[in-house]
A and B are shown apart, each in its own frame.
Chain A
């Protein structure tokens, strides 16, 4: 399959359909890193296997603007897994990137592995074929996961005091590196609330309440937008279970508004629309 990906990337770069092709390459210490291929002769760097965990949609923001003044913004080719494709849908929906400037190679996925370990999110994932693509590659997937929110439900059954204690313990580890935000394709604000100076929403203190504020704020900003790709959790050096937070919101958004992030590019986002007659629990 990698031969097909390389051949297609070479073709796209050679005939000028894309300026850059975003994929994966071999990194250091047996790890995989994102690759940005500009020249056709470099396509042999590209790889594809189950270590390719990154959500490449996050890099599309770098291609919003022209590389040189006066030029058009560059056209980009990109590899997407099914989860990434939902992130991509969120970006397309929010008009962060034009569909015409993208060439999307969708890859069917049987789940990725970090250090040889299958990922929990992949076991929960029921979508094994990308939602948006120009060309789809790969075999029909063998495994289909199921999302039952079992871990979220376990937390819901606790008392508020126990939950507060749980989250206090988790958030207290946060070192405020903001790696979660940087890894997130949906976190593209030019100026993040966390760094805004006027008004100063957050202080710079390494204080539990600041950390808590940051995480809850980020979770809320991702309401109806988080596609559950798990990039934040994977980027977190302190192993804070951010997916527990984000999936809780995803669950509620699904229950209240019958909407899943990145499902399509037409349905209005749940928090940007309303129905006059709906009954919502307040």
Chain B
């Protein structure tokens, strides 16, 4: 793998926990990789597995879905559904050849700026190690 490969990572961050968490990382001047493109969503439960698939199709090398910790969802149960959906999606993606390491579903709360940066760093390194994803759209 080339070391100068900078992956394109799409991050779906929940408006109540992970997005403020990322914000906190920024305002605390914690450095995290610039390979992450953040998309703010109302809840991690908003992230249809189709979004993830579309992201991969449009050329993402990795996709990150971050939400509130289970039990802390602003809408009571959004992230419980996420947990079920993505445990299945993970296996489906792996089965069709998108390595499991390219999708990350995790929980980051609004006060975990440092943790957000850590998660982003680790995930970027993981995707970097996997290399560019080969199945992307030809015209992208």
Contacts and interface: CB of A to CB of B under 8 A. Distances in A.
A256 B50 CA distance: 21
Given A161-B97, A164-B97, A282-B83, A216 B53 contact: yes
A207 interface: yes
A220 interface: yes
Contact of A223 (B88, B99, B138): B88
Given A271-B84, A276-B80, A164 B95 contact: no
B95 A163 contact: yes
Nearest to A164: B97
Interface in A173-204: 193, 201
Contacts of A207: 137-139
A147 to B, nearest CB: 17
Interface residues of B, number: 35
B40 interface: no
Interface majority SS on A: helix, strand, loop or mixed? helix
A230 B41 CA distance: 37
Nearest to A205: B139
Interface stretch (A4-12, A37-45, A136-144, A245-253): A245-253
B114 interface: no
Contacts of A271: 81, 84-85, 88
A226 B94 CA distance: 20
Contacts of A17: none
A27 interface: no
Given A201-B54, A209-B137, A209-B138, A248 B83 contact: no
Interface string A206-232: 011110110011011001000000000
A213 B88 contact: no
A78 B57 CA distance: 41
A167 B96 contact: yes
Contacts of B34: none
A282 B90 contact: yes
Contacts of B122: none
Contacts of A219: 92
Interface of A: 155-156, 160-168, 193, 201, 207-210, 212-213, 216-217, 219-220, 223, 245, 248-249, 252-253, 256-257, 270-271, 274, 276, 278, 280-282
Top 5 A-B pairs, shortest CB-CB distance:
A164-B97, A274-B80, A280-B87, A163-B97, A209-B137
